[in-house]
Amino acid sequence: MKRLHNKINKEELKQRMLESNVERTTLSFYKYAQIKDVEKFRNELYRALDAVEVYGRIYVSEEGINGQISVPTKNLEEFKTRLYAVEFLDQVRLNIAIDDDGKSFYLLKIKIRGKIVADGLNDKTFDVTNRGVHLDAKGFNELTDDPNTIVIDMRNHYETEVGHFENAVLPDADTFREALPKVEKMLEDDKNKNIVMYCTGGIRCEKASAYYKHKGFQNVFQLDGGIIEYARQVDQLGLENKFIGKNFVFDDRMGERISEDIIANCHQCGKSCDTHINCANDACHILFIQCDECAEKFQNCCSEKCTDFIQLPLEEQMRKKTTETFNGTKFGKGRYKAHNQNHEL
């Protein structure tokens, strides 16, 4: 069966979205489940969601589904009907975005992957269904007040840089795959303490909690629904908010504000700032934090070199981009900090 996909130029689609006044709702969902015919499932899902104008990025594999999408608000109920019609997705929790302008996605992509989250684990070596105890926002607040509790952030360094829970352990990892062994080593002397993990929407902790229980940790807990659901419950129930700053999200918004605290700094001048941006030089495209003043000065680029490069004629850019070295080819996401590099590149 021919795989369905969008055929319109992505820049045109992005411009349409920016100019659109259609109210949209951004949400995410995931479910671990056994999918036998992944290709067939993928194409049927694409048809069902495309018909109600869903945009976003969905990964499907033999182990389940992981999606971050936006839906026209007027189509939200029809979307739920179509999603819930899939047996293993019936009544699956939808994590509704907190700080949403409806401009999170501009086309629908459904990709087949080996895993719905790249974790590097051999699932056959442990029971992936033996997961940690799920905590709602109230339970999370209560347990994290216990001095015998350690809170672990299972996200990447560029996510934790702009926001995290009070007193959380931040492993400073580039990927989830890297975080798993790093956290295990950090906690090797604390296997009898309460280990409370959290991530953006909960999916990373589903696998991580089972892995750590397999590794001998006795009291493993996870924040159900992640930061997104926590923020919703805190607001709805009037609970104390223990999350500081912004929740990084993997769409064009790049963040949801959970508290008014700004705990990060511009990577170019050091000013207090937590706005992520991708370098405007597509040959670089590195993810970094940039304040408004530096955005104007460097034309949304990460360095003087990239600013100069985007001024070149397009043909010259195309010729040089395969031989030139930029921050995006030298540093990982969010690792480059211009004020520490003296604009050497």
Catalytic residues: 199
Which amino acid does the sequence have at 2? K
Distances (CA, A) of 273 to 62, 79, 266, 280, 333: 40, 36, 5, 18, 17
CA-CA distance, 286 to 278, in Å (whole number)? 5
Query: Which residues have C-beta within 8 Å of that of residue 20, sequence separation ≥ 6?
Result: none
**Long-range CB contact pairs, 211-219, < 8 A, 24+:** 211/119, 211/121, 211/126, 211/180, 212/132, 212/183, 212/184, 213/130, 213/131, 213/132, 214/125, 214/126, 214/127, 214/130, 215/184, 216/191, 217/187, 217/191, 218/191, 218/192, 219/192, 219/193, 219/194, 219/195
SS3 category, 272: strand
Q: Quote the CA–CA distance of 50 and 74 in Å, as a whole number.
A: 15
Starting at the edge strand found earlier in the chain, the sheet holding 163-165 runs 163-165, 243-247, 256-257
Burial class of residue 226 in the structure, from the number of CB atoms within 10 Å of its CB (0-12 exposed, 13-18 middle, 19+ buried): buried
Looking at residue 299, what DSSP letter applies?
T
Residue the block writes with tokens 């994590």: 95
Structure token pair of residue 99? 């700080």
Token look-up 């089972």 returns 210
- For residues 19 and 103, the answer to whether their CB atoms sit within 8 Å is no
Partners of 245 in the beta sheet? 163
